C-alpha cells in the first residue's frame, strides 16, 4: 500500500513545507506498520521504532489542529484518534512480561526501550501509598515493593556485573579513571570508594566487592598504575636502547612527562627516581638538547665544506633532519629566542638569516634551474627531443614535468617559458607523444604500404594503433583527417592467439640453440616467445599435468617457486 505525498501550500506555523515533508515520511512508516501488523495502534513503548510511536501519540494530541487533508489520510488508513497513551494495564502487562522473561523487575537503566516503563514504575513506587489495593497487590506479586528489589539495587547489581566482567578480562578491579571504553563503570568504581570512605556503603555490597578483590585505597591503584607504566618503559628501553618516548606513544609519553613534573616539584620518591635513573631516564633535557645542537652544528660545518654555503634546503634528501634544524634556528632568531653565543657560531659559517632568506633562495633556485636547463639542452642535442625518458635521466624527467605543472598554474616566468620554447619544449606531453607515434606510423606505412602493425614486430606502435581505434570518438577531426590521409584501417581486429603446441615448438628450438629455456621477456628475436615463457611460469598452478610434463621433459626453468609446484603436482 502506498500513499502519494501531499503537495500543499499550508501556511500554518506548525506545518510549513519542511514539516509537511517530515510528516509524509512518518505517515509512510505508519502505512508500512499496518501492512506488517494489520492495524495502526503503535504501542507507546514500541522499541523497534520509538520515533514512530511518539509521532502517533502527537497526532492524537493535536488532532484538532491537523489540516483536514492530513486527518483524512489518517482516518482512511484506520488510525484511531480516540486511543490514549499507554494505560496502567498496558504498562503493567509490559512489566509482567519483563518479569517473566528476566525473573525480576529491575529494569535496565541504559536501555532506551524501557524509558517510559521505568518512569511509570518509579511513579508506582513513589505513590504506592495512594494506589488502590488491587493494583498494589498485583505489583507486589511481581516483587516491586520488596525491600531488596528496587531499581537502584538493580542498577548497582548491573554495574557489579560489569566490574566482574572487567576482572575476568584484565585480572584485577583497577578500572582506570576516565576509562574511555566504559566511563560509567569508571565513575561507579570511584563512587564506591567514596561511599565506603564516608561509611555509607552497606556491608553486603562491600562484601561483594571484597570477593572480587576490589582496591579500596586509591594509593594502591596509583602504585599499580605506576608499576605498569614503568614496566612499559622498561620494555621500550630494551627494544630501542633509550627512554626518549616519541609522541606516537601517547600514553607512555604523557606518563614520562608527569614523572619529570613530579620530580621538579620534589614529590617523586627516592626509590622511583633511582629506578628511572638506572635505565637512563632523562629528567632534564637541557644537556641532551645542548649535545644535539652541537652535533647538528658539526654537520652544518661539513655541509659548508662540501657546498661552499650554509643554506641547507628544508627538504634536503641527504639529511632532512639537518634541513629542519637549520629552519628552526632561523625561526628562533626571528623571534629573538636564539642564544647569542649560538648566533655568533652560526654567523661564522655565513648562516642565512630570515631577512636575506628570499634573496639567497632565489639565487640558489636560479642556479639550479640554469643547470637543469643546460642538461635539457644537451639531451635535446643528443636525442633530438625535449621529451626526456625516465629510463635515461629520471631527475631531468622530473624537472621537465615540474616545468609543465608550473606552466599550467601560471607560475613559470615569461623568460623561462621563452628559453624552453626555443628548444621546442613540448608543453602538452600527450600531444607530443601522439605526434611521435604518428611519425612512427608514417614510416611504417611508407615501408609496408599499410597501417596494420603486427604485435610481434613493434608492440609499442601496435598498442598505440589499437588504442587509436578504440578511442576514435575522443579524437579531434584534425587527427582523424591525418590518419585517413594515409589510409588508416579503423577496423578493430582481435589478436590471433598462437596455439600452445606451436609456442612449445619455438621453445624447443630455443633450447636446442642456447642450451637452456630462460628466454628473456623482451627477447628481440621472438618477443612473443619471451612473454609466453614468462606466462607459463606465472600460470603454472593452472596448467594441465600433461603440459607440465612436456615442459619438464626439456628442463623448463620454473624459477624458485617451480620446484614447489612440481612437488605439489606429483603429490596431487
Tens of pLDDT, residue by residue over 108-126, are: 765 556 767 777 887 787 7
Residue 527 · residue 510 · CB < 8 Å:
no
pLDDT band at 564 (very low <50, low <70, confident <90, very high): very low
pLDDT at 173 over 60: yes
Residue 406 · residue 412 · CB < 8 Å:
yes
* pLDDT tens, residue by residue, 420-458: 888 888 887 777 778 888 888 889 888 888 888 887 778
Mean pLDDT of 125-141: 82
pLDDT at 68 over 60: yes
Residue 212 · residue 161 · CB < 8 Å:
no
pLDDT at 568 over 60: no
In angstroms and rounded to an integer, the radius of gyration of the C-alpha atoms of the chain is 41
CB atoms within 10 A of CB 56: 25
Comparing 138-142, 149-153, 179-183, 568-572, the range with the smallest average pLDDT is: 568-572
Distance (Å, whole) CA 116 – CA 121 = 9
pLDDT band at 561 (very low <50, low <70, confident <90, very high): very low
Mean pLDDT of 63-82: 86
- The pLDDT assigned to 566 comes to 44
Question: What is the CB-side half-sphere exposure of residue 166 using CA atoms within 13 A?
Answer: 23
Mean pLDDT of 241-245: 84
pLDDT at 8 over 50: no
Mean pLDDT of 258-264: 87
- The pLDDT assigned to 379 comes to 92
- The pLDDT assigned to 373 comes to 92
- The pLDDT assigned to 425 comes to 85
CA dihedral 44, 47, 52, 55 (to 10 degrees): 40
- Max avg pLDDT among 37-51, 86-100, 345-359: 86-100
pLDDT above 70 coverage of the chain, percent:
88
Distance (Å, whole) CA 450 – CA 456 = 16
pLDDT band at 198 (very low <50, low <70, confident <90, very high): confident
Distance (Å, whole) CA 194 – CA 290 = 48
Closest CA to 425 of 381, 461, 391, 376: 376
3-state secondary structure 80-137: CCCCCCCCHHHHHHHHHHHHHHHCCCCCCCCCHHHHHHHHHHHHHHHCHHHCCHHHHH
- The pLDDT assigned to 354 comes to 67
- The pLDDT assigned to 377 comes to 92
* Helix or strand holding residue 422 (H, E): helix 414-422
* pLDDT tens, residue by residue, 337-364: 888 898 899 888 888 776 566 676 677 7
Reading phi first (left if > 0) and then psi (alpha if -120 to 50, else beta), residue 103 is in: left
pLDDT at 14 over 60: no
Sign of CA dihedral 361, 364, 367, 370: negative
Residue 77 · residue 34 · CB < 8 Å:
yes
pLDDT at 45 over 80: no
Mean pLDDT of 192-211: 88
Mean pLDDT of 38-65: 78
pLDDT, greater one: 91 or 14: 91
Reading phi first (left if > 0) and then psi (alpha if -120 to 50, else beta), residue 280 is in: left
- The pLDDT assigned to 362 comes to 74
Distance (Å, whole) CA 436 – CA 461 = 10
Distance (Å, whole) CA 566 – CA 377 = 55
On average, the pLDDT of the chain sits at 81
> Looking at residue 181, what DSSP letter applies?
T
Residue 197 · residue 156 · CB < 8 Å:
no
Distance (Å, whole) CA 263 – CA 274 = 11
Residue 379 · residue 396 · CB < 8 Å:
yes
Residue 66 · residue 19 · CB < 8 Å:
no
- Max avg pLDDT among 116-120, 127-131, 247-251: 247-251
Mean pLDDT of 197-219: 85
Mean pLDDT of 216-244: 84
Distance (Å, whole) CA 200 – CA 222 = 24
Mean pLDDT of 399-405: 88
* Helix or strand holding residue 330 (H, E): helix 320-334
CB atoms within 10 A of CB 106: 21
pLDDT, greater one: 307 or 195: 195
Residue 99 · residue 142 · CB < 8 Å:
yes
* DSSP-based three-state secondary structure for 396: helix
Compute CA distances 394 → 369, 389, 401, 476, 502, whole Å: 16, 7, 11, 32, 40
Distance (Å, whole) CA 163 – CA 175 = 8
The burial of 196, by beta-carbon neighbours within 10 Å (0-12 exposed, 13-18 middle, 19 or more buried), is given as: middle
CA of residue 241 relative to chain centroid, distance: 31
Reading phi first (left if > 0) and then psi (alpha if -120 to 50, else beta), residue 78 is in: left
3-state secondary structure 427-457: CCHHHHHHHHHHHHHHHHHHHHCCCCCCCCC
pLDDT above 90 coverage of the chain, percent:
7
Residue 420 · residue 403 · CB < 8 Å:
yes
- The pLDDT assigned to 11 comes to 39
Closest CA to 319 of 306, 333, 337: 306
pLDDT at 508 over 50: yes
pLDDT at 384 over 70: yes
CA dihedral 242, 243, 246, 251 (to 10 degrees): 140
Mean pLDDT of 200-228: 84
The two most distant CA atoms of the chain are separated, in Å, by 112
Distance (Å, whole) CA 569 – CA 565 = 6
pLDDT, greater one: 435 or 329: 329
pLDDT, greater one: 515 or 45: 515
* pLDDT tens, residue by residue, 361-381: 677 778 889 999 999 999 989
* DSSP-based three-state secondary structure for 518: coil
Residue 343 · residue 333 · CB < 8 Å:
yes
Amino acid at each position: 500500500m502506498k500513499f502519494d505525498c501531499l503537495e500543499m501550500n499550508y501556511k500554518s506555523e506548525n506545518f510549513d513545507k519542511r514539516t509537511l515533508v517530515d510528516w509524509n515520511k512518518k505517515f509512510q512508516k505508519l502505512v508500512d506498520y499496518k501492512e506488517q501488523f494489520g492495524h495502526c495502534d503503535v504501542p507507546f513503548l514500541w522499541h523497534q521504532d520509538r520515533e514512530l510511536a511518539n509521532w502517533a501519540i502527537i497526532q492524537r494530541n493535536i488532532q484538532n489542529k491537523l489540516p483536514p487533508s492530513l486527518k483524512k489520510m489518517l482516518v482512511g488508513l484506520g488510525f484511531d484518534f480516540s486511543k490514549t497513551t499507554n494505560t496502567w494495564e498496558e504498562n503493567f502487562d509490559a512489566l509482567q512480561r519483563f518479569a517473566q522473561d528476566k525473573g525480576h523487575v529491575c529494569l535496565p537503566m541504559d536501555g532506551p526501550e524501557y524509558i517510559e516503563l521505568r518512569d511509570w514504575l518509579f511513579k508506582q513506587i513513589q505513590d504506592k501509598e495512594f494506589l488502590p489495593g488491587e493494583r498494589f497487590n498485583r505489583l507486589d506479586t511481581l516483587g516491586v515493593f520488596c525491600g531488596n528489589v528496587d531499581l537502584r539495587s538493580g542498577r548497582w547489581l548491573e554495574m557489579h556485573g560489569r566490574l566482574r566482567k572487567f576482572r575476568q578480562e584484565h585480572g584485577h578491579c583497577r578500572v582506570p579513571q576516565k576509562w574511555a571504553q566504559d566511563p560509567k563503570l569508571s565513575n561507579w568504581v570511584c563512587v564506591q570508594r567514596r561511599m565506603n570512605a564516608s561509611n555509607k556503603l552497606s556491608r553486603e555490597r562491600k562484601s561483594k566487592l571484597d570477593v572480587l578483590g576490589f582496591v579500596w585505597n586509591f594509593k594502591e591503584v596509583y602504585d599499580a598504575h605506576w608499576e605498569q607504566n614503568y614496566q612499559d618503559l622498561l620494555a621500550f628501553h630494551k627494544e630501542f636502547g633509550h627512554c626518549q618516548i616519541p609522541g606516537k606513544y601517547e600514553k607512555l609519553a604523557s606518563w614520562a612527562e608527569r614523572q619529570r613534573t613530579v620530580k621538579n616539584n620534589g614529590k617523586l620518591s627516592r626509590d622511583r627516581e633511582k629506578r628511572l635513573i638506572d635505565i637512563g631516564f632523562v629528567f632534564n633535557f637541557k644537556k641532551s638538547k645542548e649535545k644535539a645542537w652541537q652535533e647538528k652544528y658539526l654537520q652544518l660545518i661539513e655541509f659548508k665544506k662540501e657546498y661552499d654555503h650554509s643554506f641547507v634546503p628544508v627538504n634536503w634528501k641527504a639529511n632532512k633532519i639537518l634541513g629542519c634544524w637549520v629552519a628552526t634556528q632561523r625561526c628562533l632568531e626571528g623571534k629573538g629566542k636564539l642564544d647569542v653565543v649560538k648566533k655568533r657560531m652560526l654567523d661564522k659559517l655565513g648562516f642565512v638569516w630570515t631577512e636575506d632568506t628570499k634573496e639567497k633562495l632565489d639565487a640558489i633556485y636560479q642556479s639550479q634551474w640554469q643547470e637543469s636547463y643546460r642538461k635539457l639542452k644537451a639531451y635535446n642535442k643528443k636525442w633530438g627531443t625535449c621529451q626526456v625518458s625516465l629510463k635515461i635521466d629520471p631527475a631531468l624527467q622530473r624537472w621537465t614535468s615540474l616545468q609543465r605543472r608550473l606552466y599550467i598554474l601560471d607560475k613559470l616566468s615569461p623568460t623561462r617559458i621563452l628559453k624552453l620554447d626555443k628548444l621546442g619544449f613540448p608543453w602538452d606531453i600527450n600531444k607530443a607523444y601522439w605526434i611521435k607515434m604518428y611519425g612512427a606510423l608514417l614510416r611504417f606505412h611508407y615501408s609496408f604500404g599499410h597501417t596494420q602493425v603486427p604485435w610481434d614486430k613493434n608492440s609499442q606502435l601496435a598498442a598505440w594503433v589499437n588504442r587509436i581505434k578504440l578511442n576514435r570518438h575522443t579524437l579531434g577531426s584534425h587527427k582523424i583527417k591525418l590518419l585517413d590521409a594515409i589510409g588508416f584501417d579503423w577496423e578493430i581486429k582481435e589478436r590471433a592467439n598462437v596455439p600452445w603446441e606451436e609456442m612449445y615448438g619455438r621453445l624447443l628450438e630455443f633450447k636446442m640453440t642456447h642450451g637452456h629455456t630462460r628466454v628473456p621477456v623482451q627477447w628481440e628475436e621472438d618477443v612473443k616467445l619471451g612473454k609466453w615463457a614468462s606466462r607459463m611460469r606465472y600460470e603454472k598452478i593452472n596448467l594441465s599435468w600433461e603440459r607440465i610434463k612436456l615442459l619438464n621433459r626439456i628442463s623448463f626453468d620454473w624459477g624458485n617457486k617451480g620446484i614447489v609446484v612440481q612437488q605439489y603436482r606429483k603429490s596431487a
